[in-house]
Amino acid sequence: MVDTMRRHAGTGVAALVLSSAAFGTSGPFAKALIEAGWSPGAVVLLRIAGAAALLLPWVLWSQRHALRALVRELPLATGYGCLAVAAAQLGYFQAVERLTVGVALLIEYLGIVLVVLVMWALTRRRPHRLTGVGILLAVLGLALVLDITGQTTPDLVGVAWGLVAATGLAGHYVLAARETTLSPITFVALGLTAGGVVLALLGATGVIPMHVGGSQVAVGSGRVPAWVALVELVVVAAAVAYVLGVLGARHLGSTLASFVGLTEVMFAVLVAWLVLGELPGPLQLVGGLVILAGIVTVRLGERADARRSATGSPVDFDVPSPVA
């Protein structure tokens, strides 16, 4: 029994680390396309639509005898697609156009703190003291990342887009925690489809610029065809990343999975350095570590709060699978 549990844990950790590594490639390869003249809206639409095209046929086939359940859950999946898919990914890709990949992702991860603040306001239930400490650490880390001392001026438009991504990530944690009869993969596939439809409509009406750029993109010290970067975003950074994330979560559970998922930031910074030659400055690296420490402390506070709760089931903030 113990050996079986260990094998499941090992499989879960391996799957989630690979998922985080896959998600971490999205920012660098998207930025390579953006620097080649592609609009962020076009990049995120192609990524979402491509991943949906890979996952949705399998979902429809596997759920062909339960289509009524799919229709019943469409409102929730559509809300998830608008926030967790469209807003989170569009905000993140718009942010990496103006900020380094690491900084944009760190701002997005403040969405975890935003969830706690929103739920505090709605429930009037004071969070655990560890949660409060984590929020203060996250705010301090953000100040260091943005270098508010004035030595450098952050791109405020990029910061605003990063906060849009954080709002989308908060939507992911809130909506994905809702009860549903759909399997995680089915729910993700419907969310990707809904998000893709929303972005396509915004592009068709001219709200979000949609245009393609050069046929070659700079990767490392060389250049590769743009379609290679697009395939990487669709297959690796979206479809494979989501599937591995779901697999890992089923083996580890949401709380432990969410901690392992924080390794995405490390992978994103590493890939951005290799692909774009982009590395945050020393102060930003320190700020990033402080933000991560704050997020981990928030997690610990919510976990302690859940343990001490004698009645009811608290909202599970620890839904895994990042959305960048």
Structure confidence by residue, pLDDT tens digits, 42-82: 999 999 999 999 888 888 888 777 778 778 878 888 888 88
Confidence of residue 38 (pLDDT cuts 50, 70, 90): very high
Q: Is the pLDDT of residue 143 over 80?
A: no
- Cα dihedral 100, 106, 111, 112, rounded to 10, equals 160
Contact yes or no for 69/181 (Cβ under 8 A): yes
Q: What percent of the chain has pLDDT over 70?
A: 80
Structure tokens belonging to residue 214: 């050069």
Q: What percent of the chain has pLDDT over 90?
A: 16
Q: What are phi and psi of 236, to 5 degrees?
A: -80, -55
Q: Is the pLDDT of residue 99 over 80?
A: yes
Mean pLDDT of 230-237: 92
Higher pLDDT, 102 or 161: 161
Confidence of residue 14 (pLDDT cuts 50, 70, 90): confident
Q: Does an H or E element contain 162, and which?
A: helix 156-176
Q: Is the pLDDT of residue 280 over 90?
A: no
Computed on alpha carbons and rounded to an integer, the radius of gyration of the chain in Å comes to 19
Mean pLDDT of 84-97: 89
Q: Does an H or E element contain 297, and which?
A: helix 282-308
Provide the pLDDT for residue 228.
92
Higher pLDDT, 115 or 217: 217
Mean pLDDT of 25-49: 91
Higher pLDDT, 195 or 63: 195
Higher pLDDT, 116 or 35: 35
> CA–CA distance from 122 to each of 8, 78, 125, 143, 213 (Å)?
37, 23, 8, 27, 44
Mean pLDDT over the full length of the chain: 78
Higher pLDDT, 19 or 177: 19
Burial 230-248 (b: 16+ CB within 10 A, else e): bebbbbbbbbbbbbbbbbb
What's the gap between Cα 11 and its chain centre?
22
DSSP per residue over 182-232, as a string? S-HHHHHHHHHHHHHHHHHHHHHTTSS------SEEEETTEEEEHHHHHHI
Provide the pLDDT for residue 115.
73
Provide the pLDDT for residue 316.
45
Interatomic CA distance for residues 164 and 90, integer angstroms: 8
Q: Is the pLDDT of residue 183 over 60?
A: yes
Higher pLDDT, 191 or 122: 191
Q: Is the pLDDT of residue 10 over 60?
A: yes
